[in-house]
C-alpha cells in the first residue's frame, strides 16, 4: 500500500510539505489548501509550482479537494457552483489526469463545527437527490468522478447515507471518499457499520482518528489512527476484503511537524500491516 497525505496537513507551502513528506517516505499527495488559497481558486503560479515540484520530485498527485458543495445551501448557490466553481475544479482535475474531485454533501443551514453536536439537523431534504443527479450528470459528461466526503456540517454526513443517495440518483459518476474519522466526529463512536453499504462506491480513503473533546473544548482531540475511537485495523481488513486498491491518505488534523506526521504514518502502518502478520 502506497500511503499518501493531504498536503496542507503538513504545510500549505507545497514545497515544504513535500520536503517533510518525502523525508518520511510519502510520495502521494492530495491537494486542498495552498498558501494563496484553496485549489484551484488560488494563484495560478502556485498551481504551476505544484506541477513543477510533482514532476521534479517524482511524486504523484492523487486527488483534488476544492471544497465544492460544502457550504451550498440553496438552488441559487448550486447553480453558481455548477456554472463557476465546478468547471474550474474540473479543468484542473483533467489537467492533472486525476480520476475526479473530492466534494461535500451540501450544507445544513445554521450548522457549524462548533454547534452540530447540539443541533437537530432535521429531515433530509427531498431536493438532495435532484442536486446529486445534476452534479453527477455534469461530472459524467466531463468524464470525471465526484467523490462525496461525509462531513458533520453537511446533509450527506455519513458514508451509508452517501451510498443511499448515490443509488437513488442513478448517477454513474458519484463515488465516496471514505472518511470514518468525520463520521466518528459526528457520532462519537466507531462508525464501522457505515462500511458495508459504502463499499461498492469507495474511490478514496482518508485516515484520521479522534477522542471526545475535553471539557470546554469545541473540537475533539485528533490522534494517530488506532489511538482513538476507531478500530482502523477492522476498517482496513474490510477494505482489503472488498479488494479496494485506490488511494489512502493521511488527514491527521494535528500539527504538521515531522514527528507528528511520522507518528501518524507509523500508526497507519501498524494497523495496516498487522493484517499480514
- Domains of the chain, first to last: 3-276 (3.20.20.150)
The secondary structure of residue 107, as a DSSP letter, is B
Query: Angle at Cα 240 formed by Cα 235 and Cα 242, nearest 5°?
Result: 95
Residue 42's φ and ψ, nearest 5 degrees, are: -145, -175
Looking at residue 54, its pLDDT comes to 96
- The pLDDT score that the predictor gives to residue 276 is 59
- 275 pLDDT higher than 80: no
Proportion of the chain above pLDDT 70, given as a percent: 99
Q: Check residues 213 and 236 and name the one with the higher pLDDT.
A: 236
- Distance CA(203)–CA(189), nearest Å, equals 23
Residue with cell 465526484: 146
Confidence of residue 151 (pLDDT cuts 50, 70, 90): very high
Q: What is the pTM of this model?
A: 0.96
Contact criterion met (CB below 8 Å) for 188 and 146: no
Residue 230 contacts residue 190 (beta carbons within 8 Å): yes
> According to the model, what pLDDT value does residue 117 have?
84
Instruction: Report which of residues 221 and 121 the model is more confident about.
Output: 221
Residue that has been written with the C-alpha cell 455534469 in this structure: 138
What does the pLDDT average to over 145-160?
97
From the centroid of its chain, how far is CA 108?
Answer: 18
Q: Are strands 33-34 and 28-31 parallel, antiparallel or unpaired?
A: unpaired
Q: What is the per-residue pLDDT for 2? A: 85
Q: What are phi and psi for residue 24, nearest 5 degrees?
A: -95, 5
- Residue 235: pLDDT band (50, 70, 90) is very high
pLDDT in tens, 83-116: 999 999 999 999 999 999 999 999 999 999 989 8
**What's the mean per-residue pLDDT of the chain?**
95
- Kindly report, residue by residue over 2-46, the tens digit of the pLDDT: 899 999 999 999 999 999 999 999 999 999 999 999 999 999 999
Average pLDDT over residues 38-65: 96
Query: Given the DSSP bridges, would you call strands 145-148 and 100-103 parallel, antiparallel or unpaired?
Result: parallel
Contact 7, 29 (CB under 8 A): yes
Three-state SS string over the chain comes to CCEEEEHHHCCCCHHHHHHHHHHCCCCEEEECEECCEECCCCCHHHHHHHHHHHHHHCCEEEEECCCCCCCCCCHHHHHHHHHHHHHHHHHHHHHCCCCEEEECCCECCCCCCCCHHHCCCCCCCCHHHHHHHHHHHHHHHHCCEEEECCCCCECCCCHHHHHHHHHHHCCCCEEEEECHHHHHHHHCCCCHHHHHHHHHHEEEEEECEEECCCCCCCCCEEECCCCCCCCHHHHHHHHHHCCCCCCEEECCCCCCCHHHHHHHHHHHHHHHHHHHC
The answer to whether the bond into 208 is cis (omega within 30° of 0) is: no
State how far the alpha carbon of 259 is from the alpha carbons of 13, 15, 117, in Å.
18, 18, 31
Amino acid at each position: 500500500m502506497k500511503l499518501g497525505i493531504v498536503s496542507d496537513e503538513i504545510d500549505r507551502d507545497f514545497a515544504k510539505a513535500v520536503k517533510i513528506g518525502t523525508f518520511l517516505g510519502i510520495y502521494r499527495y492530495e491537494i486542498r489548501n495552498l498558501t494563496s488559497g484553496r485549489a484551484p481558486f488560488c494563484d495560478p503560479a502556485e498551481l504551476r509550482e505544484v506541477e513543477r515540484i510533482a514532476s521534479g520530485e517524482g511524486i504523484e498527485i492523487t486527488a483534488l479537494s476544492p471544497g465544492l458543495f460544502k457550504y451550498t445551501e440553496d438552488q441559487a448557490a448550486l447553480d453558481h457552483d455548477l456554472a463557476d466553481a465546478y468547471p474550474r475544479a474540473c479543468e484542473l482535475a483533467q489537467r492533472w489526469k486525476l480520476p475526479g474531485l473530492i466534494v461535500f454533501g451540501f450544507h445544513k443551514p445554521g450548522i457549524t463545527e462548533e454547534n452540530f453536536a447540539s443541533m437537530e439537523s432535521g429531515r433530509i431534504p427531498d431536493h438532495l437527490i435532484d442536486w446529486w443527479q445534476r452534479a453527477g450528470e455534469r461530472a459524467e459528461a466531463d468524464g470525471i468522478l465526484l467523490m462525496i466526503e461525509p462531513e458533520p456540517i453537511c446533509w450527506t454526513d455519513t458514508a451509508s447515507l452517501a451510498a443511499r443517495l448515490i443509488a437513488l440518483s442513478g448517477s454513474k459518476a458519484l463515488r465516496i471518499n471514505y472518511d470514518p474519522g468525520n463520521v466518528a466526529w459526528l457520532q462519537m463512536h466507531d462508525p464501522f457499520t457505515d462500511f458495508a453499504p459504502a463499499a461498492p462506491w469507495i474511490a478514496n480513503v482518508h485516515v484520521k482518528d479522534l477522542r471526545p473533546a475535553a471539557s470546554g473544548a469545541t473540537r475533539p482531540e485528533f490522534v494517530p489512527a488506532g489511538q482513538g475511537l476507531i478500530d482502523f485495523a477492522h476498517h482496513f481488513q474490510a477494505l482489503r476484503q472488498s479488494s479496494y486498491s485506490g488511494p489512502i491518505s493521511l488527514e491527521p488534523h494535528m500539527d504538521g511537524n515531522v514527528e507528528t506526521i511520522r507518528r501518524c504514518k507509523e500508526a497507519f502502518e501498524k494497523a495496516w500491516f498487522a493484517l499480514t502478520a
